[in-house]
Amino acid sequence: MASPERIVMRVMVTGGTGFVGPHTVQHLVNDGHEVHLLVRSSDRIAPALEPLGVEGVTHTVG
């Protein structure tokens, strides 16, 4: 049986530095997806996420 074709997605995660977000990011990276985080400050990227190679995109509101 042939294995299904693998699709790699570029994913933007909001809330990636919160309580649930880092676990979601970890799973996406482990599955081979390209992950970007929408964050208020690049300083908010958790140390646990830095080794994963995710990119933080900073946004300001107001």
Which structural domain range is residue 51 located in? 16-58
The verdict on residue 38 lying in a domain is yes
Q: Is 13 within 8 Å of 35 (Cβ atoms)?
A: yes
Within a domain: residue 9?
Answer: no
pTM (2 d.p.): 0.75
Which residues lie closer than 8 Å to 41 by C-beta, 6 or more apart? Answer: 58
Q: Is residue 7 part of a domain?
A: no
φ, ψ at 27 (rounded to 5°): -65, -40
Is residue 48 one of the residues assigned to a domain?
A: yes
Q: Report residue 2's pLDDT band, with 50, 70 and 90 as the boundaries.
A: low
Is residue 8 domain-resident? no
Examine residue 21 and state whether it is found in any structural domain, yes or no: yes
pLDDT (mean) for 33-48: 79
Which residues are registered as beta bridge partners of 12?
A: 36
- Per the structure, the count of domains in the chain is 1
> Using CA atoms, how far apart are residues 51 and 29, in angstroms rounded to an integer?
11
